[in-house]
Structure 1
Amino acid sequence: MADIRRKIYDRMLEWKRRDRGASALLIDGARRVGKSYIAEKFARSEYRSYILIDFAKAPQTIKDLFDKDADDLDLLFGKLSAYYGTPLHERDSALIFDEVQMCPSARQLVKYLVQDGRYDYIETGSLLTLKQNVRDIVIPSEEEHLEMFPLDFEEFLWALGDETTIPFLKERFDTLTPVGQALHRKIMNDFRQYMLVGGMPQAVAAYAGNKDFAQADRIKKRILNLYREDVSKFARGYESRVYAIFDEIPGQLSKKDKKYRLTSLNKKARFREYEDAFVWLSEAMIVNTCVNATDPTVGLSLSRDHTTQKCYMADTGLLVTQTFVDDSFADNRLYRDILFDKINVNEGMVMENAVAQTFRSAGHKLFFYSRADTDHRENHMEIDFLIRRDRKICPVEVKSAAYRKHSSLDKFMNKFRGRLGQGYVLYPKDVMVKDGVVHAPLYMSIFL
């Protein structure tokens, strides 16, 4: 895979310089998001030597070392050095525990490895909080936890060789200055490509070479198949419910309000019956769950209602492929519609998913606001996202270029007047401020 620059690398550098061996770095993320690649790239560049132990492939004799030799670290290090043919240098070597969930005893030993202090440790994994992956072990408190997400729009542009656009856009966003028609059209075209390809590193690398959507689509189908295989392995006992929720995501997002309705799976379905399935998909970081904050004046987390939620795909490119997963690339209408700016409900689904993905990558937890009141229409409101910005809650609406009004946003701002920050509309047009609401292009969601 071609070298792809990732922002998480700088955060890893910060950890190394700050902690100096006082903690192990744990990188959590979905399968195929690039955890192993970035861990090895970092160790190769920042240390004199490193050993990568892939617990998905390591022989049982290596896994057994973390039980049998746990009391003799000198012997443990000597055996690992000999097996992998790599000398270890005190305070200048790293050990990578790749897919650490496959060897719980190695994760438990991290506490004592960190206390020993000779080397640095980088753990990577998926499904790290599943009961079967932490059963009978004590989770070490000496872990610095980093979440890794698919590439954001800036990283996607880096992969295409563009390192100047985002700094320029940041200045325009900060000053609320229009980008200009010609440049806006070009960047929206880039953002449409980003929505279609997504941010999974293998798909981006395949596309960056010669703009081959078909090759990227084939890679994304393989990733979706891998996720389905993981369900059968790690969601035993409720895998049918996980499959049902996962397969229905495109259909749910294509609806006007995007809320996940379990009655589409079974008219008698109840949230408590499917709760474990939603949690599994969220912990696998395959989806981004967005929950209803019923009273944003008391804090988003304090008023969340998990029974009313939206379920976005963690990667928008995977959503595009999943929507027509049984069709060939040539038959996937979303590619044509989005590339040629045909506004329809499907494009709205993809745009909103891309904003959700951007917000999660930026560290936001996802919340929305929904209140139904058929008797008093002035109280009926739907706000796509609520985010914290400058210590205040900011409502965000995602709109198509054809929209004419934002009545829910206006009602929300009036209802909670004085308690909110800036209101935003993200849409496919250039920067504009109207009636106190900041209208910004979709690609500027990266700055919120």
Structure 2
Amino acid sequence: MWIERDNKKQALIDAAKALRSQVLVVRGARQVGKTSFVLDALKALSGHPQVRINLSLQRGGVIDGVDYFGRDFFGAAEDAGQFLHNVSLLLGPIERLASAAVIFIDEADRHPVSLEAVQTLAGLSDKLKVIYTGSNLENIAVKNSATGRKLHFDLYPITFREFLRAYGKQTELAYLDGISLDDKTFSEMHHHALNDHFALYLRLGGMPRVLDAFLDAQADRGRIPGIIADLAGTIEENVKSVLGEKTALYEYEDVLRRLAFLSMDTLKFSRLQVNHAGRGEAKRLVNKTVGARVAHKIRLWDSGTDLSKYILFDAGVLNYLLNGSDLLGSKAADSHRAVQYETAVGNEIIAALPTRDDLFYWKSKRGAQVEFILRSPRLTAIDVKSTRGDVRSLDSCAVFEKEVECLVKISQGLPRRTVNYEARVAGAEASRRIELRTLPYYLSGRLLELLA
């Protein structure tokens, strides 16, 4: 079944229409639904001439019922001369087009010369609105960086809110959207229902193929284990396509699994080294994984050195790596559950941010750690608990980091706002008053709105 992403779709349409001396680059992990998402959005631009190109094809062909031109249409010239000539033959002289043509270039990383043409194509944005997609665009080295000529649009897995809508839980969705922390009366009935739905989302994640098998009444949910295993294999193949021979020594799925286990803390690359491959190869592999948007890099706040941690891009893929392919029936250890909640909440926050690079984490010299730090709209420390949990790490952050303006604990508990909370650290003389907000997991996607 098709899962609507109306807000995101309209944002893409608006971005494409508004292009000025730029091309639009839609980024996202393999199998996250970039192609179908763009094709759906293009229906709203039916008044514009459209050209669809899939650069995984040498010549034109049909993929999933859609006609595409191939690499021969784009040509091999870095100045896009052959491509522009073919567009003119197809649509007429570009300078005489009555309305701007929309050019959709899919799998652009499969034909890197197409990325060398960005500078040229961006200069024609009044007549050609060019949309690139690909799963390895950030991992492709180009000679012409075309600085300032790319407008990036990030597509992440289906969010919890989008999942609720597709699941037909309109009552719970309306309640979620209407929650205000100024209202001290909350529905425990809807709260428990939403916590249950989030626990389900925690298992399934947001990959379209998995959710399609779960939500479609005609589909067989017994196919989910095979689908998630295939997705993990596809992700592995996609990242390995940009890795050298040394890094091929790694069993990549095991590397993802290790990243999953280690995602709660600062990553030491030595813990990824295998088969005589050194720290440099381990670091390069992780960087390529981030570039393929399979993992997100969370930097240590106000650190001059690279002491980052990494979370995987999807809760369902994480569930598979930690607990096996039976996403709905597997039993998770408590330590795994903590990683799963942190990852799901982190991905919900990232999906709402202008860029994933806006998310940080904090660690004290004493070892206390806060899962996430946001600099905007307020400098906020965020801790994620797998049940209800304490706030000792948040207390430490508040006491030792005076710039922090707000504390947020995300757990199973009801929403609550404490304006004059007293943060204390055992054994330390200092304390301070600060605002503390308690949010349930299902409000993670609204965090920025609730902080404003």
2:404 aligns with one of 389, 409, 420:
420
Equivalent pairs counted in the alignment come to 410
C-alpha separation in 1, matches of 2:271 and 2:80: 51
1:18-417 correspondence to structure 2 within 5 Å: 18-19=18-19, 22-48=21-47, 49-59=49-59, 62=72, 65=75, 67=77, 70-71=80-81, 75-79=85-89, 90-116=98-124, 117-130=126-139, 133-139=140-146, 141-163=148-170, 165-166=172-173, 168-175=175-182, 177-210=184-217, 214-237=222-245, 238-241=247-250, 243=252, 244-253=254-263, 257-266=264-273, 272-293=280-301, 295=302, 303=303, 305-306=305-306, 308-325=307-324, 328=326, 332-334=330-332, 344-363=334-353, 364=356, 365-373=358-366, 380-390=367-377, 392-403=378-389, 405-417=390-402
Structure 1 residue 432: Cα displacement: 2.4
Whether the 8 Å CA contact 2:224–2:326 is kept in 1: the answer is no
Whether the 8 Å CA contact 2:261–2:339 is kept in 1: the answer is no
CA deviation string 1:105-134 (max 9, x = no partner): 22333433343443321111122132xx33
Q: 1:370 to 1:114 in 2, by over 3 A?
A: closer
Question: 1:233 is aligned with what amino acid?
Answer: S
Partner of 1:444: 443
C-alpha separation in 2, matches of 1:90 and 1:105: 29
Query: Which residues of structure 1 form unaligned runs of 5+?
Result: 83-87, 296-302, 338-343, 374-379
C-alpha separation in 2, matches of 1:52 and 1:261: 43
Query: Which residues of structure 2 form unaligned runs of 5+?
Result: 60-69, 422-434, 448-452
Partner of 1:341: none
C-alpha separation in 1, matches of 2:79 and 2:88: 11
Structure 1 residue 163: Cα displacement: 4.9
TM-score normalised according to structure 1 size: 0.81
Q: What SS is found at the alignment partner of 1:223?
A: helix
Structure 1 residue 231: Cα displacement: 3.1
Whether the 8 Å CA contact 2:348–2:445 is kept in 1: the answer is yes
Question: 1:15 is aligned with what amino acid?
Answer: A
C-alpha separation in 2, matches of 1:112 and 1:305: 38
CA deviation string 1:166-187 (max 9, x = no partner): 4533442442535321111111
Q: 1:220 to 1:209 in 2, by over 3 A?
A: same
Whether the 8 Å CA contact 1:101–1:125 is kept in 2: the answer is yes
Q: What SS is found at the alignment partner of 2:320?
A: helix
C-alpha separation in 1, matches of 2:57 and 2:279: 38
CA deviation string 1:412-445 (max 9, x = no partner): 212223x222101000121123534211101111
Percent sequence identity is 18
Whether the 8 Å CA contact 2:116–2:143 is kept in 1: the answer is no
C-alpha separation in 2, matches of 1:156 and 1:274: 35
Question: 1:67 is aligned with what amino acid?
Answer: A
Structure 1 residue 140: Cα displacement: 6.4
C-alpha separation in 1, matches of 2:187 and 2:204: 26
Q: 1:216 to 1:5 in 2, by over 3 A?
A: farther
Cα RMSD (Å):
3.0
Q: What SS is found at the alignment partner of 1:27?
A: strand
Q: 1:219 to 1:81 in 2, by over 3 A?
A: farther
Structure 1 residue 34: Cα displacement: 1.2
C-alpha separation in 1, matches of 2:265 and 2:385: 13
Q: What SS is found at the alignment partner of 2:216?
A: helix
Q: What SS is found at the alignment partner of 1:216?
A: helix
Whether the 8 Å CA contact 2:104–2:130 is kept in 1: the answer is yes
